[in-house]
């Protein structure tokens, strides 16, 4: 108990706290430095050093077809039909994402491939156009939307709708815009249905039986998804090495391809941002729309490329793999910026300053009401 007139001990020094948004920035950059990106590069290097040939190539193709079917089966089994229907209320957001994915991207792809320098080469040009036809991604869009304090449920639904639409629109657009480059004959349609649509529908039908099991063992089954993609990358690039396609891909071509991909990403981000303002979307929904509308799915694009292009898919998926890393870097930067902006916003929607709030606690707070009179401090002499 403190004696009358004795000064109170000074409060303990405050532990310095990290600046607002620093934790989100670290998480965002961890998304960029995903070891899975290094694994993809390792699969490409392995295909360049030890490509599958002869009977090994045939077995690799068969295993790859099975892995692609299993991948889309798991997609269907994990997709919640109820959540997909509930998410339909964000019609303007989903319309903007679909327009960016299947209208804006193909238009930009046609424009940039028409004016791209000749040094880029025909296979990479075709790969850029195929990149523009791939649906949006779900995993990275949702993760970055959460970091940016955006509308995560809307991002989940937007990515899901884009993936479902891509099962039909990507092959059709590839046949229309790529011509003979995409094998979309009657046999090609049957192959797409057998390898992509049929496993997806089967997963949806079996979801009531195995959905809970997959949810409980999500971490155990995660290597199946990523392992399937790595196998697809290795098989596709092995075929390209065997055909000698990499002799046409020069460092100058890669630099030109990088410039084209940066333009695509910047133009899509700017257009999607403008669309959110024109449609009057709120801040959280606008963040989800920009991130979902500017990203492309590596998990869906690579299996589709193997089905549509067969052994020639190696150099055609290189633009998609490079764009995947660029979209992660740009998305992490934007998510960190939006997260810091959200930390400075007050509940009323105004922006606070960076200085700490003033301490309004009185120096000598009044004692609680239940304190007995003998324990109360004596009043100060006037």
Please give the pLDDT value at position 34: 58
Which among 92, 112, 147, 130 has a CA at the least distance from the CA of 268? 112
Global pTM value = 0.69
Which among 183, 175, 123 has a CA at the least distance from the CA of 310? 183
- Compute the distance between CA of residue 336 and CA of residue 329 in angstroms, rounded to an integer: 11
Residue 75 vs residues 132, 145, 236: alpha-carbon distances, Å: 22, 21, 22
Q: What is the pLDDT of residues 59-92, one digit of tens each?
A: 887 887 788 788 778 877 877 767 666 666 788 9
- Compute the distance between CA of residue 87 and CA of residue 151 in angstroms, rounded to an integer: 11
- Compute the distance between CA of residue 359 and CA of residue 44 in angstroms, rounded to an integer: 58
pLDDT tens per residue across all 382 residues of the chain: 455 555 565 555 554 454 544 454 455 444 445 576 678 788 888 888 888 888 888 888 788 778 878 877 887 787 776 766 666 678 899 999 999 999 999 999 999 988 876 767 788 888 899 999 999 987 778 888 888 888 888 888 888 888 888 888 888 888 888 865 555 555 556 666 777 778 888 888 888 888 888 878 777 677 777 787 788 778 877 877 776 766 667 888 888 899 999 999 999 999 999 999 999 999 999 999 999 999 998 878 888 887 777 767 777 888 988 898 888 888 888 988 898 887 776 454 444 433 334 444 444 444 444 444 444 555 554 4
Q: Length of the chain in residues, anyone?
A: 382
DSSP labels for 82-117? Answer: HHHHHGGG-HHHHHHHHHIIIIIHHHHHHHHHHHS-
List all residues 6 or more positions away from 340 whose beta carbon is below 8 Å from its beta carbon.
20, 21, 24, 25
Q: What is the pLDDT of residues 38-51, one digit of tens each?
A: 787 888 888 888 88
HEC secondary structure over 108-157: HHHHHHHHCCHHHCHHHHHHHHHHCCCCCCCHHHHHHHHHCCCCHHHHHH
Please give the pLDDT value at position 101: 95
Q: What is the pLDDT of residues 140-167, one digit of tens each?
A: 788 888 888 888 888 888 888 888 888 8
Q: What is the pLDDT of residues 347-360, one digit of tens each?
A: 544 444 333 344 44
- Compute the distance between CA of residue 76 and CA of residue 82 in angstroms, rounded to an integer: 13
Expressed in angstroms, the distance from the first to the final Cα of the chain is 24
Query: Burial code of 328-339, b = ≥16 C-beta within 10 A, e = fewer?
Result: bebbbebbbebb
Give the Cα-Cα-Cα angle 256, 166, 333 (nearest 5 degrees): 50
Please give the pLDDT value at position 211: 80
């Amino acid at each position: 108990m403190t004696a009358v007139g004795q000064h109170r001990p000074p409060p303990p020094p405050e532990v310095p706290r990290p600046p607002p948004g620093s934790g989100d920035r670290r998480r965002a950059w961890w998304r960029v430095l995903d070891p899975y990106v290094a694994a993809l590069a390792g699969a490409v290097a392995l295909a360049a050093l030890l490509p599958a040939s002869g009977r090994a190539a045939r077995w690799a193709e068969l295993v790859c077809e099975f892995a692609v079917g299993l991948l889309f089966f798991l997609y269907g089994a994990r997709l919640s039909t109820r959540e997909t229907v509930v998410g339909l209320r964000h019609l303007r957001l989903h319309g903007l994402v679909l327009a960016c994915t299947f209208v804006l991207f193909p238009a930009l792809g046609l424009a940039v491939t028409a004016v791209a320098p000749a040094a880029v080469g025909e296979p990479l040009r075709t790969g850029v156009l195929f990149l523009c036809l791939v649906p949006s991604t779900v995993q990275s869009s949702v993760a970055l939307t959460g970091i940016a304090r955006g509308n995560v449920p809307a991002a989940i639904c937007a990515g899901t709708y884009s993936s479902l639409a891509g099962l039909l629109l990507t092959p059709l657009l590839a046949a229309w815009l790529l011509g003979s480059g995409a094998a979309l004959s009657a046999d090609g349609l049957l192959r797409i249905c057998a390898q992509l649509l049929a496993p997806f529908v089967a997963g949806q039908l079996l979801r009531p039986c195995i959905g809970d099991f997959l949810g409980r063992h999500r971490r155990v089954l995660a290597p199946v998804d990523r392992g399937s993609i790595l196998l697809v990358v290795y098989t596709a690039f092995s075929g390209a090495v065997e055909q000698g396609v990499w002799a046409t891909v020069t460092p100058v071509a890669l630099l030109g391809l990088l410039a084209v991909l940066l333009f695509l990403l910047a133009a899509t981000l700017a257009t999607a941002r403008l669309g959110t303002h024109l449609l009057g979307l709120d801040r959280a929904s606008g963040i989800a729309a920009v991130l979902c509308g500017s990203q492309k799915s590596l998990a869906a694009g690579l299996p589709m490329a193997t089905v549509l292009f067969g052994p020639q898919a190696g150099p055609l998926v290189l633009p998609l793999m490079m764009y995947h890393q660029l979209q992660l870097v740009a998305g992490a930067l934007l998510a960190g910026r939006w997260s810091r902006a959200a930390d400075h916003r007050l509940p009323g929607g105004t922006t606070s300053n960076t200085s700490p709030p003033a301490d309004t606690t009185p120096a000598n707070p009044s004692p609680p009401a239940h304190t007995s009179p003998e324990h109360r401090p004596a009043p100060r002499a006037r």
